[in-house]
Amino acid sequence: QVQLVESGGGLVQTGGSLRLSCAASGRTFSSLPMGWFRQAPGKEREFVATTRWSGGTTFYGDFVKGRFTISRDNAGNTVYLQMNSLKPEDTAVYYCAARQYDGTGYILRDHQWYDYWGQGTQVTVSS
């Protein structure tokens, strides 16, 4: 059974940094997409970043503007999201997601095409 477990969320001040981690178990994702989405109260789930495979092409949401970096460990089953210059509008629950198949950037930016999800980790940025 595939499991994605996120960690690293918390409370940080404006301009601060956090590093989220997501460890996958149950199958190997080194050659498959893994990414991050977020959802704020009353809003739809929003694409943050994804990587097609370990060391492969990365995509970012338009709002990221160079502040976040997605990466994977050497084995490819852990994905990280380094978030810098955080703003209050970054406050949300951040979810890790993974797909069973590769896809184009268009598909990988859409949460409905992901097969596995973590439980989410809360990120709160205070002003």
Task: Write down the residue that tokens 């002003």 correspond to.
Answer: 127
Q: Do the Cβ atoms of 101 and 80 come closer than 8 Å?
A: no
Give percent above pLDDT 70 in the chain: 99
* Dist CA 84 CA 12 (whole Å): 11
Q: How confident is the model at residue 53 (pLDDT cuts 50, 70, 90)?
A: confident
Mean pLDDT value across the chain: 94
pLDDT tens for each residue of 16-42: 999 999 999 999 888 889 999 999 999
Q: Six-digit token pair at 92?
A: 């949300």
Cβ proximity of 46 and 39 under 8 Å: yes
The whole-number average pLDDT for the span 75-96 is 96
pLDDT digits (tens, 9 = 90+) for 38-48: 999 999 999 99
Rounded (5°) CA angle 44-113-17: 55
CA distance 41 to 32: 30
Q: Percent of the chain beyond pLDDT 90?
A: 83
Q: Residue 3: its pLDDT value, please?
A: 96
In this predicted structure, what is the pLDDT of residue 127? 92
For residues 33 and 118, give the distance between their C-alpha atoms in angstroms, rounded to a whole number. Answer: 14
